[in-house]
Amino acid sequence: MNIKEIEDLLKKYYEGETSLSDERSLKAFFMQPDVPDHLKPHQSVFRFFNEEAGVQLEEEKLEQSLLRKIELYKADTAVSHAHPGKKRLYYLTGIAAGIFMVISLVFVIRNEIRHRQAVALQNNRSEIAYTQARQALLMVSVGLNTGIDAARRLNTLDKAVEQIQLVNKFFNYSNQFMNPDEMMNPSIKQ
């Protein structure tokens, strides 16, 4: 392959228009030792690709990786197998904590309900007390009113008594008039 062809292929290569076999011939060209100076930078690219394609994974490494995995698996399972009691303890504490929470919640709610009922009852009681007091006061006030009526009647009685006293006086005077002796006599009292 002459240099001109290689240059053309390189141009196509950078445009992504080469086929795999074109690229193989480019690789083959650049693997040979005598490459013109102006193509040297491209040579390093193809040599790099060629070198990278030769990288292999030794079976040894693959085995090592497998061993690492087994170790990892062992370590993983060792943790859970080493303390089975501990694991159970974790579960038990979890369950206990759950039960405790439920019980305490029940207590709190019950207390709250009781408290509310007591408050409601107290409110009820004070209402009853209020109405009773009102009724009592009402009764007292009605009784007082009837008392005042009675007292008014007493008043008329007073007036009547006055009238009667006037009549009494008239009788006294009329007696004196009828018996002047008695009038002279101081021993006689009104």
74 binds other proteins (CB under 8 A): no
- In the bound state with other proteins, the residue whose beta carbon lies nearer, of 36 and 147, is 36
- In the bound state with other proteins, the residue whose beta carbon lies nearer, of 20 and 144, is 20
- Least gap, CB of 81 to other proteins (angstroms): 23
- Least gap, CB of 53 to other proteins (angstroms): 5
Closest CA to 32 of 55, 13, 14, 50: 50
Distance CA 8, CA 2 (A): 10
- In the bound state with other proteins, the residue whose beta carbon lies nearer, of 57 and 144, is 57
- In the bound state with other proteins, the residue whose beta carbon lies nearer, of 66 and 99, is 66
The torsion defined by the Cα of 183, 188, 189 and 190, in degrees rounded to 10, comes to -40
Q: Which residues contact 52 (CB under 8 A, 6 or more apart)?
A: none
Q: Which residues of 52-80 are buried (b: 16+ CB within 10 A; e: fewer)?
A: eeeeeeeeeeeeeeeeeeeeeeeeeeeee
128 binds other proteins (CB under 8 A): no
- Tokens for 92? 């038990």
51 binds other proteins (CB under 8 A): yes
Residues that bind other proteins (CB under 8 A): 13-16, 20, 23-24, 40-42, 44-45, 47-49, 51-53, 55-57, 61-62, 64-66, 68-69
